[in-house]
């Protein structure tokens, strides 16, 4: 009974009239023209900036030491006059940054992919707004609250393999019990439930796809919504084949200073009024616009994002993203200084390959760790060699190792990265090849 009451309260907090009002607003904003979006973006920035300057001891001290004349910040066009803040600054000053009601704040946490997890604060208003943006994307694909959905996102521990929430109409399946001997269990549960969609980490649903394909099993799930990890091309092809599905991807961060959604045309787009982003060669500077309680202004993230090459934006309300390369430590660094991104295509359509992970500790070499099955053969490995050669030429030096699934490096939350790059950040940066 207690769990049922908790589920109802959780449902109401997430899907009440305030949420539905915000969802309607987000859907409306997507139809605004460029000038209206810029005007509202400027209004939201000034509100957050003024709150931060007047109420946050962190920003008062930071701007004073930096020599910022806050009276000179009259619009978002002046944002470049402000200093950039880092992950470590947030970690060391989290309480000084938060300016909301301390009794109603909740904690969010990064997965710790690149070290110690970062804790951030959220207030109820920003949680509702984030939910509105997420569901606005799902709305584009005809998926709405109350439709049958399976969650494969680390919600359950290893001790609980499944749980059904009647209010969300959601069947939770554990992502910590994905083993070959459980293949028929997962297939049966999904087939019986007949979900309209699955919510999953890309790596979790890829593991299931491997198991299903090895046993000649398929499913019919219209939509799979992926998030929280980089989605690689080879994963998309494999999963869509095994589930007879369409993957819809979402890129964001736990700090909630940037979010990018995939739309019906398959391309990725900035979310209007979610954030203000400055795309640099090897990082991105983000300013969140959905939370005035935990303001993050000009916050640097290591994600490498390429905006569409067309420079002229006037009259365009939707900004297309060319590519999301992931973090700097998702990039292979070659001996000549070239940083090689988007290597996931190396592992597309390789017979018998289940999982791959590239591990780099020094600049002149790396290891390619492969989990394979009985269908992997000489032609499979030749294909990998050939594709790597096309990407990096003859300067690549690497070893191919055959490992078990448990040897693939994951975070404590079970998240996966294709490239584990442990080269020091002080290494000279070169050109990104995508």
What is the rounded distance in angstroms from the CA atom of residue 227 to the CA atom of residue 249?
6
> What pLDDT is stored for residue 113 in this prediction?
47
pLDDT tens for 305-314 read 888 765 445 4
The whole-number pLDDT of residue 328 equals: 52
| Rounded-to-integer distance, Cα 141 and Cα 203, Å | 22
Check residue 281 and give its pLDDT: 84
Question: How far out from the chain centre does Cα 23 lie?
Answer: 21
> In this model, does residue 405 exceed pLDDT 90?
no
Residue 138 near residue 144 (C-beta atoms within 8 A): yes
Q: Which residue has the higher pLDDT, 428 or 333?
A: 333
Asked whether 252 and 275 are in contact (CB, 8 A), the reply is: no
Whether 433 shows a pLDDT value over 60: the answer reads: no
pLDDT at 413: 60
Q: What is the DSSP letter of 172?
A: E
Indicate if the pLDDT at residue 114 is higher than 60.
no
Confidence band of 207 (pLDDT split at 50, 70, 90): confident
Give CA angle at 401 (395, 406), nearest 5°: 135
Q: What is the mean pLDDT of the chain?
A: 87
Residue 13 has pLDDT above 60, yes or no: yes
Q: Residues 35-79: pLDDT tens digits?
A: 999 999 999 999 999 999 999 999 999 999 999 888 889 999 999
* pLDDT value of residue 318: 65
C-beta atoms surrounding 119 within 10 Å = 13
Hey, what CATH topology would domain 331-433 get?
GMP Synthetase; Chain A, domain 3 (3.30.300)
Residue 1 pLDDT level (bands cut at 50, 70, 90): confident
Residues of the chain above pLDDT 70, percent: 90
* pLDDT (average), residues 163-170: 94
pLDDT at res. 197: 98
Three-state SS for 252? strand
Average pLDDT estimate for 212-241: 93
Amino acid 115: pLDDT: 45
**Structure-model confidence comparison of residues 265 and 5, the more confident one:** 265
In this model, does residue 167 exceed pLDDT 80? yes
Three-state secondary structure of 1-63:
CHHHHHHHHHHHHHCCHHHHHHHHHHHHHCCCCHHHHHHHHHHHHHHHHHHHHHHCHHHHHHH
Minimum mean pLDDT among 20-24, 106-110, 120-124, 286-290: which range?
Answer: 106-110
pLDDT at 189: 97
Q: Is the pLDDT of residue 397 over 90?
A: no
Instruction: Output the pLDDT for position 18.
Output: 96
- Whether the Cβ atoms of residue 418 and residue 357 lie closer than 8 Å to each other: yes
- pTM greater than the 0.75 cutoff: yes
DSSP-derived secondary structure for 106-160: EEEE---TTSSPPEEEE-HHHHHHHHHHHHHHHHHTT--TTS-EEEESS-S-TT-
Mean pLDDT on 159-173: 93
pLDDT per residue over 324-370, tens digit each? 876 555 677 778 766 676 677 788 888 889 889 999 998 888 999 99
Domain ranges for the chain, please list them: 32-122+259-326, 147-243, 331-433
Q: What is the pLDDT of residues 274-332, one digit of tens each?
A: 999 999 988 899 999 999 999 999 999 988 888 876 544 544 556 889 888 765 556 77
Decide which of 110 and 239 is more confident.
Answer: 239
pLDDT tens for each residue of 117-160: 688 999 999 999 999 999 999 999 999 999 999 999 878 877 88
Record: fold of 147-243: Rossmann fold (3.40.50)
């Amino acid at each position: 009974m207690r769990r049922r009451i908790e589920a109802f309260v959780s449902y109401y907090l997430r899907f009440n009239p305030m949420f539905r009002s915000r969802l309607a607003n987000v859907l409306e904003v997507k139809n605004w023209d460029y000038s209206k979006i810029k005007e509202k973006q400027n209004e939201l920035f000034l509100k957050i900036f003024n709150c931060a300057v007047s109420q946050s001891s962190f920003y008062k001290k930071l701007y004073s030491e930096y020599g910022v004349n806050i009276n000179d910040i009259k619009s978002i066009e002046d944002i470049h006059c402000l200093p950039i803040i880092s992950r470590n600054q947030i970690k060391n000053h989290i309480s000084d940054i938060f300016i909301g009601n301390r009794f109603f704040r909740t904690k969010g946490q990064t997965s710790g992919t690149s070290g110690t997890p970062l804790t951030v604060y959220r207030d109820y208003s920003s949680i509702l707004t984030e939910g509105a943006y997420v569901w606005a994307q799902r709305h584009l694909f005809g998926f709405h609250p109350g439709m049958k959905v399976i969650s494969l996102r680390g919600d359950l521990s290893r001790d609980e393999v499944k749980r059904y929430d009647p209010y969300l109409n959601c069947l939770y399946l554990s992502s910590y019990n994905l083993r070959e001997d459980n293949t028929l269990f997962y297939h049966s549960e999904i087939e019986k439930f007949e979900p309209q969609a699955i919510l999953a980490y890309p790596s979790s649903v890829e593991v299931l796809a491997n198991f299903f394909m090895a046993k000649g099993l398929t499913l019919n799930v219209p939509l799979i919504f992926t998030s929280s990890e980089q989605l690689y091309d080879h994963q998309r092809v494999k999963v869509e084949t095994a589930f007879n599905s369409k993957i819809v991807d979402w890129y964001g961060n736990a700090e909630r200073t940037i979010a990018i959604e995939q739309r019906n045309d398959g391309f990725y787009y900035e979310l209007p009024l979610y954030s203000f982003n400055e795309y640099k060669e090897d990082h991105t500077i983000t300013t969140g616009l959905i939370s005035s309680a935990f303001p993050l202004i000009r916050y640097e993230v290591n994600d490498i994002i390429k905006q569409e090459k067309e420079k002229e934006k006037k009259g365009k309300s939707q900004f297309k993203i060319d590519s999301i390369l992931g973090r700097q430590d998702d990039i292979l660094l070659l001996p000549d200084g070239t940083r090689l991104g988007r290597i996931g295509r190396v592992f597309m359509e390789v017979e018998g390959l289940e999982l791959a992970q590239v591990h780099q500790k020094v600049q002149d070499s790396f290891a390619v760790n492969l989990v394979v099955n009985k269908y992997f053969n000489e032609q499979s490995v030749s294909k990998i060699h050939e594709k790597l050669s096309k990407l990096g030429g003859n300067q690549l030096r690497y070893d191919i190792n055959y490992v078990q699934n448990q040897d693939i490096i994951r975070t404590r939350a079970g998240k996966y990265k294709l490239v584990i790059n442990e080269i020091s950040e002080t290494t000279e940066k070169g050109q990104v090849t995508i």
